[in-house]
Amino acid sequence: MDRRHSPDRQFGSQRWRLSEGALRLRQLIFFALAPAAAMWILSGPLIAAEMPAETRTNRLIHSGSPYLLQHAHNPVDWYPWGEEAFAKAKKENKLIFLSVGYSTCYWCHVAERTIYSNPAIAALMNRWFVNIKVDREERPDVDQTYMLARRLLTGSGGWPNNLFLTPDLKPFFAGSYFPPEDREGANGFPTILKLIHEDWEKSPAKIEDIGGQVLAALGRVRDTGGKPASVLKIRPADWLVAARAQLLGQRDKVYGGIDGGGGTKFPQSPVVNLLLTDYRLNGNAESLQAVAETLNAMAFGGIHDQLGGGMHRYSTEPTWSVPHFEKMLYDNAQLIGLYADYYAITQQPLAREMAADIAGYLARRMTASEGGFYTAEDADIEGKEGETYLWTKAEIAAVLGAADADRFFDLYELTPLPNEPTGSGVLRIRQDRTNAKNNGASVLPALTEIVSLRAKLLEIRARRQQPARDDKIVVSINGLAIARLARAGTVVGEQQWMQWAERAGEYLWQHAFDAKTGGLHRYVYKGEARGDESACRRDSGLT
For the purposes of burial, counting CB atoms within 10 Å of the CB of 93, is it exposed (0-12), middle (13-18) or buried (19 or more)?
A: exposed
Q: Are residues 39 and 172 in the same domain?
A: yes
Q: Are residues 334 and 212 in the same domain?
A: no
Q: Does an H or E element contain 198, and which?
A: helix 189-202
Percent share of the chain, pLDDT over 70: 83
Distance CA 481, CA 330 (A): 7
pLDDT for position 516? 86
Residues paired with 186 in a beta bridge: 183
Q: Are residues 89 and 162 in the same domain?
A: yes
Is residue 523 included in any domain, yes or no? no
Tens digit of each residue's pLDDT (9 = 90 or more) over 472-503: 999 999 999 999 999 999 999 999 999 999 99
* Beta carbons within 10 angstroms of residue 8's beta carbon: 16
Q: Are residues 217 and 240 in the same domain?
A: no
Which amino acid makes up residue 185? G
Q: Which residues form the domain of 77?
A: 7-223
Is residue 502 included in any domain, yes or no? no
Q: Are residues 288 and 429 in the same domain?
A: yes
Q: Which of 1-15, 29-43, 311-325 has the weakest average pLDDT?
A: 29-43
Tens digit of each residue's pLDDT (9 = 90 or more) over 421-441: 667 899 999 988 876 566 667
Tens digit of each residue's pLDDT (9 = 90 or more) over 146-191: 999 999 999 889 999 999 999 999 999 999 999 999 988 889 999 9
Tens digit of each residue's pLDDT (9 = 90 or more) over 217-232: 998 887 766 555 554 4
Distance CA 375, CA 339 (A): 21
Is residue 392 included in any domain, yes or no? yes
The candidate with the shortest Cα–Cα distance to 78, out of 95, 92, 65, 61, is 61
pLDDT for position 38? 28
Q: At what angle do helices 285-300 and 269-282 cross, to 10 degrees?
A: 150
Residues written for the chain: 543
Domain count of the fold of the chain: 2
Is residue 21 included in any domain, yes or no? yes
Is residue 485 included in any domain, yes or no? no
Helix intervals (H) in 228-268: 229-232, 239-249
The SS3 of residue 534 is strand
Q: Does an H or E element contain 174, and which?
A: strand 171-175
**pLDDT over threshold 60, residue 536:** no
pLDDT for position 263? 81
Which amino acid makes up residue 198? E
Distance CA 203, CA 210 (A): 12
- pTM of the entire predicted model: 0.81
Is residue 445 included in any domain, yes or no? yes
Residues paired with 95 in a beta bridge: 129
The pair phi, psi for residue 161, each rounded to 5°, is: -105, 110
Which amino acid makes up residue 383? G
Tens digit of each residue's pLDDT (9 = 90 or more) over 352-363: 999 999 999 999
pLDDT for position 528? 87
Q: Are residues 89 and 184 in the same domain?
A: yes
Q: Are residues 297 and 168 in the same domain?
A: no
Q: Are residues 113 and 52 in the same domain?
A: yes
